[in-house]
Structure 1
Amino acid sequence: MSLEVENLVGGYSQIPVLKNISFKVKPGQIVGLIGLNGAGKSTTINHIIGLLRPQQGKITIDQISLQQDPQAYKQNLSYIPEMPVLYTELTLREHLDLTIMAYNLNREQAWKKADRLLRIFRLDNKLDWFPAKFSKGMRQKVMIVCAFLADSSYYIIDEPFLGLDPLATRDLLRLIAAEKQRGAGILMSTHVLSTAQTECDYFVLLHAGKIKAQGNLAELREQAGIASDQLDEVYFALTEEDRYDE
């Protein structure tokens, strides 16, 4: 069982951005999706969450595709976008209620978990606030609380640390680690390579819509042909040679 991307070709027009990419996110595994700006990371994520339809190939969660069973596919997935997306006319409390209804959660149990998450991210006294009152970092925290409200099988997390203060970053990493321990699979796109190195079990390096390399750090190091055990140096070695080819 896994979240599996198989021979994916796709993008926003008839000219594909993604060119035959394949990788898996297994239960209890954190996969780091890394690459230069424009490499195809967000396009890959948009295909996984269903905003884009593959031109070729397929994406499945535990062998179920979005086309086969949209409800089962989406029920297994939580998503934290790079830019928070909130409803301007809904309070924080109403965003949480909407999430509970969308995932068909037990309301009493879900609110117990919500209360804990709200305290962690220091939002527990802001339940009646509207998004206009929140800073960018606070809006990001709302997205995190909503995403972790459901005990999803897989989490798709896109550049989660932008706008977060150091304490919130630490708390998010603890939540991710706890979900991994529970057996959830996590795909995390990030430019923060130091964090990726310490948190991720496996890496998928995209470059110009193709997979340049994938594997654990030792396997990436071997593919880069260098002896360094630092992810940033391996990353530079794998991308520098192509920097003028984009």
Structure 2
Amino acid sequence: MIEVINLTKKFGAKLAVDNVSFKVNDGEIFGFLGPNGAGKSTTIKMITGLLSPDEGKIMVGGVDRLKDPISAKKKISYVPDNPDIYEKMTGKFYLSFIGKSYGLASEEIEKRSMEYAKIFEIENDLSAYIESYSHGMKQKITLIGALIVDPDILILDEPMVGLDAKSSYNLKKIMRERCDRGKSVFFSTHVMEVAENLCDTIAIINKGKLITVGSLEDLKEKAKDEGSLEKIFLELTDEESN
């Protein structure tokens, strides 16, 4: 679903992403881990089209993201780590705006919006303006907007931040159900327990370089450690720093 080949991005003299390559397969939950400033969000923004790489190639659902960005973007939904959404819209109008941008009929938008609003327990708040929402509610309405279009690829940057325990549980369940239908989820997180329990494949990036990618068992073998993902993550990133 996603293939990143020799991706590189500089900001002035700073090399933010250094020759990174990986592949996210159909039906896979792919966790993208790294310390603060490691290059996670920069990589995600290049995949989604918010940033242009200096070098490299990005394939999204078989489409070259750099050559045909519109077709590539139609295959994904993206939720950033800090949702910056239209606060002067009501929740309902925002979801209608997102759905129609992807070509959904009004009836389908309303049906899917209510389905997910009930799951995330904000069905009674859709008529309110987004500016009145708490941070957690803004995270929920952004997630709902991403889910109603039923994309082939769901890209989430720190999706659990701001969510209550029940909503986090429901989101993890939705992520797995989507992959069971052959779709893909690519997400970054600082919560090692979530990545350990949820991901089929895990990639770790540090200082712009991809340190390792594989299943949890692959990572344990590389680190020569049968401990938790958190312990392995700290060992691998510490080794890279030395």
Assess if the C-alpha contact under 8 Å between 2:96 and 2:109 holds in 1. Answer: no
Q: Which amino acid aligns with 2:222?
A: Q
Q: For residue 29 of structure 1, what is the aligned residue in structure 2?
A: 28
Q: Which amino acid aligns with 1:235?
A: F
Q: Distance in 2 between matches of 1:110 and 1:181?
A: 23
Q: Distance in 2 between matches of 1:240 and 1:15?
A: 20
Q: CA deviation at 1:137?
A: 0.4
Q: Which amino acid aligns with 1:37?
A: N
Q: Name stretches of at least 5 consecutive residues in structure 2 with no aligned partner.
A: none
Assess if the C-alpha contact under 8 Å between 1:12 and 1:52 holds in 2. Answer: no
Q: Does 1:10 align with 2:31?
A: no
Q: For residue 185 of structure 2, what is the aligned residue in structure 1?
A: 186
Q: Give CA deviations for 1:47-89 in whole Å, capped at 9, x if unaligned.
A: 1111111111111112212232222111100011111121122
Q: Distance in 1 between matches of 2:189 and 2:126?
A: 29
Q: For residue 229 of structure 2, what is the aligned residue in structure 1?
A: 231
Q: Name stretches of at least 5 consecutive residues in structure 1 with no aligned partner.
A: none
Q: Distance in 2 between matches of 1:18 and 1:67?
A: 17
**TM-score (norm: length of structure 2):** 0.96
Q: CA deviation at 1:208?
A: 0.5
Identity across matched positions, percent: 34
Q: 1:132 to 1:62 in 2, by over 3 A?
A: closer
Q: For residue 101 of structure 1, what is the aligned residue in structure 2?
A: 100
Q: Distance in 1 between matches of 2:172 and 2:39?
A: 24
Q: CA deviation at 1:90?
A: 0.9
Q: CA deviation at 1:14?
A: 5.8
Q: Distance in 1 between matches of 2:34 and 2:26?
A: 23
Root mean square deviation of aligned Cα: 1.3
Q: Which amino acid aligns with 1:147?
A: A
Q: 1:162 is paired with a residue of what secondary structure?
A: coil
Q: CA deviation at 1:224?
A: 1.2
Q: Does 1:240 align with 2:238?
A: yes
Q: 1:53 to 1:78 in 2, by over 3 A?
A: same
Q: Distance in 2 between matches of 1:72 and 1:163?
A: 31
Q: Distance in 2 between matches of 1:63 and 1:174?
A: 27
Q: For residue 197 of structure 1, what is the aligned residue in structure 2?
A: 196
Assess if the C-alpha contact under 8 Å between 2:91 and 2:141 holds in 1. Answer: yes
Q: Distance in 2 between matches of 1:63 and 1:125?
A: 40
Assess if the C-alpha contact under 8 Å between 1:140 and 1:164 holds in 2. Answer: yes
Q: 1:16 is paired with a residue of what secondary structure?
A: strand
Q: Distance in 2 between matches of 1:62 and 1:165?
A: 32
Q: Does 1:146 align with 2:145?
A: yes
Q: Distance in 1 between matches of 2:154 and 2:104?
A: 17
Q: Distance in 1 between matches of 2:213 and 2:160?
A: 23
Assess if the C-alpha contact under 8 Å between 2:88 and 2:131 holds in 1. Answer: no
Q: Which amino acid aligns with 2:195?
A: A
Q: Give CA deviations for 1:99-140 in whole Å, capped at 9, x if unaligned.
A: 111111122122211111011111111122112211000100
Moved more, 141-150 or 170-179: 170-179
Q: Distance in 1 between matches of 2:166 and 2:139?
A: 13
Q: CA deviation at 1:184?
A: 1.0
**TM-score (norm: length of structure 1):** 0.94
